[in-house]
Amino acid sequence: MTDCRNQCEATRDLAGLLIASDVVVPELSAARDHLGECAECRKYLKLLQDDEQELMDFASTHEQWIEDLKVRTVNVLPQPAVRPDQKHDRWRWIMATGTRRLAAAAAVLVFLVVFLQGTDPSFKAWAEVIETVRQATSSRFHLRDMAGGDVEARQVYSTGGTSHRTFEKGQLVEAMYVDFEQQEVLYMAYPLKLAIRMKMTAELVKDFQGHDPAETFNFLQEYQYKELGTKRIDGRKAVGIRVTDARFLAERMERAELELWVDPETKLPIRFDVRGEVDGSSRSKHIRFYDFTWNDPVPESEFHPEVPDDFRITEGVELAVDQEHCLEGLRIYAKVVGRYPNTLAYESLKEQLWGSSGAKERDVRDMIVDMFRIRMASTFYGNLVRDEMNVVYFGNQVRPGQKDRVLMRWKVGPDQYRVIFGDLQTATFSGEQLLEMEGR
**Domain range list for the chain:** 2-76+88-117, 126-302, 320-438
Radius of gyration of the chain (CA): 30
- DSSP H helices, 289-356, are 323-337, 346-354
- C-alpha to C-alpha distances, 65 to 18, 55, 73, 125, nearest whole angstrom: 29, 14, 12, 17
Give the pLDDT of the chain (440 residues) as one tens digit per residue: 455 667 787 777 776 666 654 444 556 677 777 877 888 888 777 777 766 665 665 555 545 545 554 444 444 444 443 333 333 333 333 333 333 333 333 333 333 333 333 333 345 677 788 778 777 777 777 878 777 666 677 778 777 888 888 888 888 899 999 888 899 999 999 999 999 999 998 888 876 666 555 555 655 566 778 888 899 998 899 999 888 877 777 888 877 888 989 999 988 889 988 888 876 556 788 888 888 888 888 777 777 788 999 999 999 899 999 999 999 999 999 999 999 999 998 888 988 899 899 999 999 999 999 999 999 999 999 889 888 899 999 999 999 999 989 999 999 998 899 999 999 999 999 988 888 877 66
Q: What is the DSSP letter of 399?
A: -
Fold category of 126-302 in CATH: outer membrane lipoprotein receptor (LolB), chain A (2.50.20)
Q: What pLDDT is attached to residue 54?
A: 59
DSSP string, 198-209: EEE-HHHHHHHH
Rounded CA gap, 70 and 409, in Å? Answer: 41
Q: Which helix (H) or strand (E) holds 369?
A: helix 364-386
Query: What crossing angle do the helices spanning 63-76 and 99-117 adopt, rounded to 10°?
Result: 80
Rounded CA gap, 202 and 242, in Å? Answer: 31
Rounded CA gap, 368 and 374, in Å? Answer: 10
Q: What pLDDT is attached to residue 279?
A: 66
Q: Are the C-beta atoms of 411 and 390 separated by less than 8 Å?
A: yes
DSSP-based three-state secondary structure for 71: helix
Query: What crossing angle do the helices spanning 28-37 and 2-13 adopt, rounded to 10°?
Result: 120
Q: What pLDDT is attached to residue 216?
A: 57
Rounded CA gap, 429 and 408, in Å? Answer: 13
- 345, exposed or middle or buried, with CB in 10 Å at 0-12, 13-18, 19+? buried
- The amino acid sitting at 49 is Q
Sign of CA dihedral 96, 97, 102, 107: negative
